Amino acid sequence: MKRVIVKSLALFFAALAAYSGYRIWDIGKNYRAEAEIHGLVMAYRPQPAAESANRSVTELREKYPDVAGWLTIPNTNIDYPFVQYKDNAFYLRRDLNGDDAAAGTLFMDCRCKEDFSSQNTIIYGHHMKNGSMFGALKAFAESEFFAANPRGAIYLPLETLTLEIFAYLVVKATDEEIYGMEPGENYLAYVKKNARQYRKIDLKSTDRIVSLSTCAYEFDGARMVLLAVIVK
């Protein structure tokens, strides 16, 4: 009996090791696939202050028609094109070619206007543990990093939008205040009350907000959100 138990345990741990090895290989494969397509599109990366910055987005759209713009957050790995589609599911697990990809593609909420004239434009991305995609958002949980990195940029075919980052939160995926299309008069008070990091701003009713959202793992259905206002 003892010999049978030892043999069973040996088989169990061998199977466990094999599964763990497969998972490590599979995760690595996903990272490599994301890095490969990111490397390809970096040829179209808008160059700040260059006359061709917005034209590069137009050229990228000619190859990938669903591309809506390019998002850059300095001092992070967030330097990606983003798309918009008729629903919020298609690019969740697909790359820019429409092929299956665990890392997916950054995408705008389908409810938002492509020209960023919506009061709240939401961009989603996966929380990749190697820091790619929106995995870098967690860096803004640290007060020093948040204070040192107040700006970002969005490049559209016809203009460049400067983002002033003002809050980092962890909220439920069902949070209507954060994920609503038309922030109400209590929006800023709600953000200030719930923010993990906050930078004082004078938010007007005409201001346009950009919300960058990804998964968090603090509780079931948790989301990390970085909020910014578009400044002239």
User: Residue 156 to residues 8, 54, 128, 162, 183: CA-CA distances in angstroms?
Assistant: 60, 6, 25, 11, 23
What percent of the chain has a predicted confidence (pLDDT) above 70? 87
User: Is position 6 within any domain?
Assistant: no
The CATH number for 131's domain is: 2.40.260.10
Give domain status of residue 171, yes or no: yes
What token pair was written down for 165? Answer: 């980052």
pLDDT at 232: 73
Higher pLDDT, 20 or 110: 110
| pLDDT recorded at residue 17 | 40
Domain that includes residue 150, residue range = 42-231
Which pLDDT value is given to residue 71?
98
Whether 10 is in a domain gets the answer: no
Query: For the ranges 29-38, 197-206, 211-220, which has the lowest average pLDDT?
Result: 29-38
Q: Which amino acid is at 140?
A: F
Task: Domain count for the chain, please give it.
Answer: 1
Reported as a single tens digit per residue, the pLDDT across 141-165 is 999 999 999 999 999 999 999 999 9
Report the chain's mean pLDDT, rounded to a whole number.
88
In a domain, 33, yes or no: no
Q: Kindly report which listed range (29-33, 46-50, 85-89, 177-181) carries the lowest average pLDDT score.
A: 29-33
- Residue 9 included in any domain: no
- The residues pairing with 108 across neighbouring beta strands, listed in sequence order, are 123
pLDDT at residue 90 tops 70: yes
pLDDT band, very low/low/confident/very high, at 5 (cuts 50, 70, 90): low
Q: Is residue 1 part of a domain?
A: no
Beta strands 120-124; 209-215: pairing state: parallel
| 2: in domain | no
Q: What is the pLDDT of residue 119?
A: 96
Could you tell me if 153 and 214 are in contact, meaning their C-beta atoms sit under 8 angstroms apart? no
Kindly state whether residue 3 falls inside one of the protein's structural domains: no
CA 163 to chain centre: 15
pLDDT, tens digit, 9 for 90 and up, residues 7-53: 554 544 444 343 334 333 344 566 787 889 898 899 999 988 777 78
DSSP single-letter state for residue 94: B
| This prediction's pTM | 0.86
- Phi and psi (nearest 5°) for 62? -65, -30
Does 224 score more than 90 pLDDT? Answer: yes
**pLDDT for the residue 22:** 34
203 or 26, which is more confident: 203
